[in-house]
């Protein structure tokens, strides 16, 4: 019974030499924090740019075209749909990961700010309570003296 499931198991995708090379370039670009990722999902366009390395990648998902551009050359080729989808999956995952990092940072900052505000309010309430107690004790002492 187990051998039937093994039969239907999907074989891993094997890329051509050029696809492997391009995939490697894009993955390395995604690892560099200075690489900008811009997305136009409605238009099916994804842009990676790294100004430090003078390198840009444009992925046109609707046409399955990937354009690589550096200071000297620009090459655009149409690739297999599955390959482009794999590249886009990597780009989207990195974009999502970066958004989570930003979201976590913002959330952390807001939590710290809220905690500081809460502590200040507690301190302010304690100071007001002390001031009211001092006024009450002064008022009580003044009545006894009369």
Cβ neighbours, 10 Å, residue 58:
17
Q: Which pLDDT tens digits describe the chain residue by residue (146 residues)?
A: 455 555 555 666 788 899 999 999 999 999 999 999 999 988 999 999 999 989 999 999 999 999 999 988 999 999 999 999 999 999 999 999 999 988 888 999 999 999 999 989 888 888 877 776 776 666 665 555 54
Residue 26: exposure state from Cβ atoms within 10 A (0-12, 13-18, ≥19): buried
Question: Looking at the 3D structure of the chain, how many domains does it have?
Answer: 1
Among candidate residues 31, 30, 85, the one with its CA nearest the CA of residue 60: 85
For 42, the domain range is: 13-144
- Residue 56 token pair: 């840009």
Phi, psi dihedrals of residue 33, rounded to the nearest 5°? -60, -25
Residue 25 lies in a domain: yes
Cβ neighbours, 10 Å, residue 31:
9
Cβ neighbours, 10 Å, residue 83:
19
Residue 1 lies in a domain: no
Residue 114 lies in a domain: yes
């Amino acid at each position: 019974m187990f051998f039937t499931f093994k039969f239907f198991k999907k074989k891993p995708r094997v890329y051509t030499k050029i696809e492997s090379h391009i995939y490697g370039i894009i993955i390395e670009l995604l690892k560099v924090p200075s690489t900008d990722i811009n997305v136009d999902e409605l238009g099916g366009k994804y842009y990676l740019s790294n100004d430090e390395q003078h390198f840009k990648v444009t992925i046109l998902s609707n046409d399955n075209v990937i354009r690589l551009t550096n200071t000297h050359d620009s090459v655009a080729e149409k690739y297999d749909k599955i390959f482009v989808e794999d590249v886009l999956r990597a780009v989207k995952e990195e974009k999502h990961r970066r958004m989570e990092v930003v979201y976590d940072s913002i959330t952390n900052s807001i939590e710290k700010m809220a905690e500081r505000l809460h502590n200040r309010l507690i301190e302010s309430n304690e100071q007001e309570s002390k001031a009211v107690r001092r006024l009450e004790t002064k008022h009580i002492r003044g009545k006894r003296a009369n």
